[in-house]
Structure 1
Amino acid sequence: MMLCITTACCLQTVEKRGISSPESPVMEDNNSGFGSSQSIVDANNRFACELYLNISHNPGYSGKNIFFSPYTITSAGALTYEGARGRTAKEIRDIFHFPVSDTVLREGYTGMDLNSSGSTLYMANGLWANQRFPFLPEYLTISNQYYGANIMNLDFANKSGESRDIINTWIASRTENKIQNLLSSSSVNPATRLIITNSIYFKGSWETRFNKGVEQVFRIEPHKGVKVQMMERTDSKPKYQYTDTGDVQVLDIPYVSGDKSQMSMLILLPKGDSIFAAEHLLTMENISSIVHAMEPKEVKIYFPKYRIETEYQLPDLLKKMGMVTPFTRYADFSGMIGKQDIFIDNIIHKAFIEVNEEGTEAASTTVTSLNGLYNAEYIPETSVIFNVDHPFIFLICDHKSGIILFIGQVMDPTGAVPSTDDFTQTPTMAPEIPAGLNHFSE
């Protein structure tokens, strides 16, 4: 019997509605802790960095744009974990870094406050159960009480097509129709016991609208580029939170959020063409150091418009990261049905993002210590030039809680997949990956 998990996320631009403040806020450092919710933030952000590295270092994704929502994946993982037992539960807990205490986990999710008065943010969980197989009342109660999961029984055996349509319609309605037909005809069949869905939709406008820029060459490789439409902010106001590590420029661009912006896009732009310099920063400790180092600066910004759509079949990625048993017939999800009779058949994640002058719409390690990297000599008193004309990493965060809602890399804003036949230089060596993360090395 099979369990299918789907996650969807969508980001969208809207017209600017606010006026920039002199000092744009950035993601707060929450290492001091805010109880149960902080444990969920820490777990989510750690998983976000690890999954990003696993995707980016997978040869199958080499040179491609990346975009996903770690929060939808971890939320769906938490619903799955609630029904897992034994080794199955341990592997899920370890990969998502969930707290050992069920109370802390549940209170963490119920305590998450991601409401933003200036942006639109929808999140929804769904449990779609085969009506022929009863699930434990305790599991359904926990799913609804602590995760707000919508629970519905469907006839997968006799009405698989109709059931699929119901679920796809539910997902589309919660992502403003940006994520459609996520489940294929083969995703639902008589053997399917349960489908867990999680969707997130974010629509935010820049606190200060960008102006239309000129067409510019974006270097996707040292000697290969594509023409893209740029947008820009080159006036003296507003000031943006900015820092420079020596190898990477870091800029925070806030979205409108009532009296105080809570959502922002954090951009990691390598000074050279190699994305690996930015990847080195993707740890919780390094991001915390970056946040502490950021200061309001006058920044001249040249930024490409882009649109990315991605879809990931996650089982192989998660297996490489250590979550193996849940996908086998040795899986123990007896917390769902009272016996060991189901396993995870697939985990599907689909994401969409569009960035333009108005804002953003989205629907989804060997660490270089940063201590001592931040020095005034890297940040001149004159205007900073932030020209995003080559690959970069971006994170969309709620700075109040510190949680990473979306993460991605843009290798080609036009969406084209570069050909590996056109490389004219020896590729830069990727950073060493910490033991235990298993970034697709044999």
Structure 2
Amino acid sequence: QFHLFGGEERTIDMMHRQDKIPYASLGDIAAISLQFDIKGVEMMIILPRERTPEALKQTAIKYLSTHGLKSINDKLSKHRKVLALPKFKAQYKSSLKDVLKDVGLNRSFSDDAEFPRIAKQHLKISDVIHEAVLKVDEHGAEASAATSVVMNRMMGSINKPEQEIYFTVDRPFLVAIYDKQTNLPIFTGAISEVGAYEKAGEEL
């Protein structure tokens, strides 16, 4: 069961992994970090201890940055745990038009725009759309923004063992894909709701 804000419970597909997993317990959060096949890139799952929308927001502000991830990374140590993680897909789409105009690219969006190296006819930019997607299932994790993709095979199904310590992600959480050496976040997000998961047509 995944426990939503407001008390609602939702039945979801959970994946399990038994291993020695880098784990950190701070005053307001617990976190684990999972390695990717790409050297130096990891995915961190952060669980706020307080189960409220405001706590999730404040935790994101505090930890989803280079400084915040470093504060967790410095506390990570390997513990034998069983990770229970839901399959999920997070997607974000936003127009960059206003942002680009704010930094001085007004002409590119106006009738006075000129792009002679692209085409002879008159062109202008109508909009610039940025879309980011993170998909995690039993085949691995895939994160994409524009054309950049990182993926790996990391999760597997196992029988639930006895007398093990669980790290169960059964409530809203934060996720960050980051560079382990620099703590630079590559992809971050807050997952407050997990619904039915659509399987990909092709295995990663």
TM over 0.5: yes
Q: The residue matched to 2:138 in structure 1 has which SS?
A: coil
* Contact map agreement 2:135 2:141 (CA 8 A) in 1: yes
2:57 to 270, 276, 289: 276
Deviation for aligned residue 1:304 = 0.2
Q: Which 4+ stretches in 1 moved above 6 angstroms?
A: none
Deviation for aligned residue 1:268 = 1.2
Give 2:9's aligned amino acid: G
Give 1:347's aligned amino acid: V
Percent identity of paired positions between Structure 1 and Structure 2: 23
Deviation for aligned residue 1:390 = 1.1
| Structure 2 length-normalised TM | 0.68
Deviation for aligned residue 1:401 = 5.0
The aligned counterpart of 2:11 is 227
Relative to structure 1, the CA distance from residue 398 to residue 265 in structure 2 (aligned partners, 3 Å threshold; closer, same or farther) is same
1-structure distance, mates of 2:20, 2:43? 15
2-structure distance, mates of 1:230, 1:409? 18
Give 1:221's aligned amino acid: F
The aligned counterpart of 2:127 is 346
Q: The residue matched to 1:264 in structure 2 has which SS?
A: strand
Give 1:313's aligned amino acid: S
Count matched residues: 171
Give 2:65's aligned amino acid: T
The aligned counterpart of 1:299 is 81
Relative to structure 1, the CA distance from residue 229 to residue 363 in structure 2 (aligned partners, 3 Å threshold; closer, same or farther) is same
1-structure distance, mates of 2:83, 2:171? 14
The aligned counterpart of 2:28 is 247
Deviations 1:64-100 (A, max 9, x none): xxxxxxxxxxxxxxxxxxxxxxxxxxxxxxxxxxxxx
Q: The residue matched to 1:288 in structure 2 has which SS?
A: helix
Q: The residue matched to 1:228 in structure 2 has which SS?
A: coil
* Contact map agreement 1:220 1:226 (CA 8 A) in 2: yes
Q: Which runs of 5+ in 1 are unaligned?
A: 1-216, 365-381, 417-442
* Contact map agreement 1:267 1:393 (CA 8 A) in 2: yes
Q: The residue matched to 2:171 in structure 1 has which SS?
A: coil
Deviation for aligned residue 1:415 = 6.7
The aligned counterpart of 1:309 is 91
Give 1:306's aligned amino acid: F
Relative to structure 1, the CA distance from residue 276 to residue 309 in structure 2 (aligned partners, 3 Å threshold; closer, same or farther) is closer
Give 2:32's aligned amino acid: L
Q: Which runs of 5+ in 2 are unaligned?
A: 117-122, 146-162, 198-204
The aligned counterpart of 1:202 is none
Give 2:94's aligned amino acid: Y
The aligned counterpart of 1:385 is 166
User: How large is the Cα RMSD of the aligned pairs?
Assistant: 3.5
Deviation for aligned residue 1:303 = 0.6
Relative to structure 1, the CA distance from residue 218 to residue 344 in structure 2 (aligned partners, 3 Å threshold; closer, same or farther) is same
- The alignment status of 1:286 with 2:68, answered yes or no, reads yes
Give 1:309's aligned amino acid: Q
1-structure distance, mates of 2:135, 2:92? 12
Bigger helix fraction = 1
1:411 to 185, 192, 201: 192
2-structure distance, mates of 1:326, 1:219? 45
Relative to structure 1, the CA distance from residue 361 to residue 282 in structure 2 (aligned partners, 3 Å threshold; closer, same or farther) is closer
Give 2:20's aligned amino acid: K
Give 1:286's aligned amino acid: G
Deviations 1:278-308 (A, max 9, x none): 2122232222221111111122211101123
Deviation for aligned residue 1:315 = 3.0
* Contact map agreement 1:327 1:344 (CA 8 A) in 2: no
Deviations 1:32-64 (A, max 9, x none): xxxxxxxxxxxxxxxxxxxxxxxxxxxxxxxxx
The aligned counterpart of 1:328 is 106
Relative to structure 1, the CA distance from residue 229 to residue 394 in structure 2 (aligned partners, 3 Å threshold; closer, same or farther) is same
Deviations 1:407-442 (A, max 9, x none): 2221222179xxxxxxxxxxxxxxxxxxxxxxxxxx
1-structure distance, mates of 2:42, 2:104? 35
2-structure distance, mates of 1:231, 1:305? 7
Relative to structure 1, the CA distance from residue 350 to residue 305 in structure 2 (aligned partners, 3 Å threshold; closer, same or farther) is same
The aligned counterpart of 2:177 is 396
Relative to structure 1, the CA distance from residue 219 to residue 284 in structure 2 (aligned partners, 3 Å threshold; closer, same or farther) is same
2-structure distance, mates of 1:325, 1:253? 37
1-structure distance, mates of 2:186, 2:49? 26
Larger gyration radius, structure 1 or structure 2: 1
Deviations 1:324-348 (A, max 9, x none): 15353499xx9x87xxxx9864221
* Contact map agreement 1:248 1:277 (CA 8 A) in 2: no
2-structure distance, mates of 1:383, 1:218? 21
